[in-house]
Structure 1
Amino acid sequence: MRLILLVLCVLVAGSAGAAETEVLAKLDALHGKRAEPAAAKELEAELKKALTATPDDFDLVWRQARLLQWQADGATAEKLKKVLGRQTWDAAEKAVKLAPERVEGHYYAAAGIGAYSQAVGVMKALGEGLEGKFNERIDTAIKIDSDFGLGAPLLVKGRYFYELPWPKRDLGKSADYYQKVIKKHPEMLRAYLFLAETLLKDDKAKEARDAIQKVKQGSVAYDSAEGQRVQEWAKKVDADIEEELK
């Protein structure tokens, strides 16, 4: 009898694990199509359903932060970006508490703080004491796994040095972080976009043009939604560079 019960327990546990893996695989597949409105809507619904059943599942919580960060990243209205940035931060902080040794929570918390800070204004964010919280999270993410998301923690740290007001701004450090990503993940188009913006601000328009060409000519196969977003943003940066070079 004990043997039968043991076998049943193993079978049930195996089924539960398979079901969870299946749910995560579905969420990741939908995430890959997140630029499509229907897929994005389904992703939100599936995440909500899964989190209702298991609200403290780390793998679900950090995926919720990932979706919120994507939405905050693309938000153009300051009010919406502020709300989504805060929601990203909150979801990611929950992930940090659930698994402090994992990179995802720390990274998305920093990204959420960054989006929130952009929305309220960097000077106000500094006044609210967010710089220390941001650096704590992003530095921890870099320490755990700087290659997460094709070097995403390094990109966020580089953007931090770009966004800071003078005299805190350091365009040289900003560019160095992007170059680290490019060296290891040359397919990451956002690294070239950020590098182009940094070089342009640093009065290096010709070098910025070279960087933006990498975005325009690059493949989006690594992540079509991300790549297409970056290439769309690159159009304005490209125009700014050409204007500077006249």
Structure 2
Amino acid sequence: MRLIFLTLPLLMITSSAWAADPGVLTSADELYAKRADPASVTALEALLKEQLKATPDDFELVWRSARILQWQADGATEPKRKMVLGRQTWDQGDKAAKLSPQRVEGYYYAACGIGAYSQAVGIMKALGDGLEGKFNERLETAIKLDATYERGGPWVVKGRYYYELPWPKRDLGKSATFYNKAIARFPESLRAHYYLAETLLKDGKAQAANDAIQKVLKGNTTYDASEAQRVQKWATKVNADIQEELK
């Protein structure tokens, strides 16, 4: 019994030593906010790498590592790079989920990572490799823990899941329902409107798709400039497709 009490202070000291400095986390978040700038991404990567080398099991650092990896995977256009970044996001997300299973971040980014990885290798191959179950397991946990995280991110990812599935699994109605959940709570989310426009266009609802894409093109970007500007850039092609359909 005496040994147990002697051990407890050591455990408490060790645990507190793993906690990231609040100033470091603030700096990481400030750099992430400017992630449209490659120099900010490079600085953020260097900061996280240095801090994780010292405290590799710090949850706050691990999930932030998954977050910037997901940003990079989301924007990657070359399949191999998207696959590598998606896998890294998945791994860091899973690590975060194990470190703090009561928090949403790990499950959310792990699901996003699996999604990016699946896009890179091809949805049919991903389904054949059993990734659908792994994706949904993590995403459903994220939805249960906090569906409003990242402006309804878990709902948006679920909507995209129903959009990207091949026929006959695809369900455009369910896809739109999840986007609309996010939009009802976070009308500023340009990504939710953008994905909704793509879903409506594929569902043969070009006029409704046009209404959605105009909200993206004319939307306010101040809520998250890096995110909003990326989505608006993507929206130009979808808008052209919609205008062609409306002719």
Q: Normalising by the residue count of structure 2, what TM-score does the alignment of the two structures yield?
A: 0.92
- Counterpart position of 1:96: 97
State the Cα distance separating 1:38 from its structure 2 match: 1.2
Question: What RMSD, in angstroms, separates the aligned Cα atoms of the two structures?
Answer: 1.6
- Counterpart position of 2:141: 140
1:238 aligns with 2:239: yes
Aligned letter for 2:219? G
Secondary structure at the aligned position of 1:220 is classed as coil
1:54 aligns with 2:50: no
Rounded to whole Å, the distance in 2 between the matches of 1:104 and 1:18 is 17
Spell out, residue by residue over 1:56-97, the C-alpha distance to the aligned partner (whole angstroms, 9 max, x if none): 000000000000000000000011000000000011111111
Rounded to whole Å, the distance in 2 between the matches of 1:224 and 1:82 is 26
State the Cα distance separating 1:198 from its structure 2 match: 0.0
User: How many aligned positions are there?
Assistant: 234
- Counterpart position of 1:174: 175
State the Cα distance separating 1:130 from its structure 2 match: 0.4
1:124 aligns with 2:125: yes
State the Cα distance separating 1:26 from its structure 2 match: 0.4
Q: Which runs of 4+ in 1 moved over 3 A?
A: 15-19
State the Cα distance separating 1:245 from its structure 2 match: 1.0
State the Cα distance separating 1:55 from its structure 2 match: 0.3
Secondary structure at the aligned position of 2:168 is classed as coil
Aligned letter for 1:173? K
Matches within 5 A, 1:8-47: 20-47=21-48
State the Cα distance separating 1:193 from its structure 2 match: 0.1
Rounded to whole Å, the distance in 2 between the matches of 1:132 and 1:233 is 29
- Counterpart position of 2:221: 220
Rounded to whole Å, the distance in 2 between the matches of 1:67 and 1:176 is 28
Rounded to whole Å, the distance in 2 between the matches of 1:38 and 1:70 is 14
Spell out, residue by residue over 1:141-192, the C-alpha distance to the aligned partner (whole angstroms, 9 max, x if none): 0000000000000000000000000000000000000001110000100000
Rounded to whole Å, the distance in 1 between the matches of 2:19 and 2:117 is 37
Rounded to whole Å, the distance in 2 between the matches of 1:53 and 1:85 is 25
Spell out, residue by residue over 1:111-140, the C-alpha distance to the aligned partner (whole angstroms, 9 max, x if none): 000000000000000000000000000000
Rounded to whole Å, the distance in 2 between the matches of 1:49 and 1:157 is 34
Rounded to whole Å, the distance in 2 between the matches of 1:229 and 1:189 is 10
Aligned CA distance change for structure 1 residues 18 and 82 (closer, same or farther; 3 Å): closer
Aligned letter for 1:126? L
Rounded to whole Å, the distance in 2 between the matches of 1:19 and 1:55 is 10
Spell out, residue by residue over 1:10-68, the C-alpha distance to the aligned partner (whole angstroms, 9 max, x if none): xx99x979971110000000000011111111011001011011000000000000000
- Counterpart position of 1:187: 188
Aligned CA distance change for structure 1 residues 18 and 63 (closer, same or farther; 3 Å): closer
Q: Normalising by the residue count of structure 1, what TM-score does the alignment of the two structures yield?
A: 0.93
Aligned letter for 1:57? D
Secondary structure at the aligned position of 1:219 is classed as coil
Rounded to whole Å, the distance in 1 between the matches of 2:188 and 2:76 is 24
The share of aligned pairs that are identical, in percent, is 67
Rounded to whole Å, the distance in 2 between the matches of 1:18 and 1:203 is 52
- Counterpart position of 1:70: 71
Rounded to whole Å, the distance in 2 between the matches of 1:96 and 1:18 is 16
Secondary structure at the aligned position of 2:180 is classed as helix
Aligned CA distance change for structure 1 residues 19 and 58 (closer, same or farther; 3 Å): closer
Rounded to whole Å, the distance in 2 between the matches of 1:38 and 1:72 is 17
Rounded to whole Å, the distance in 1 between the matches of 2:233 and 2:171 is 26
Structure 1 segments unaligned to the other structure (5+ residues): 1-11
Rounded to whole Å, the distance in 2 between the matches of 1:117 and 1:94 is 19
Aligned letter for 1:138? L
Secondary structure at the aligned position of 1:241 is classed as helix
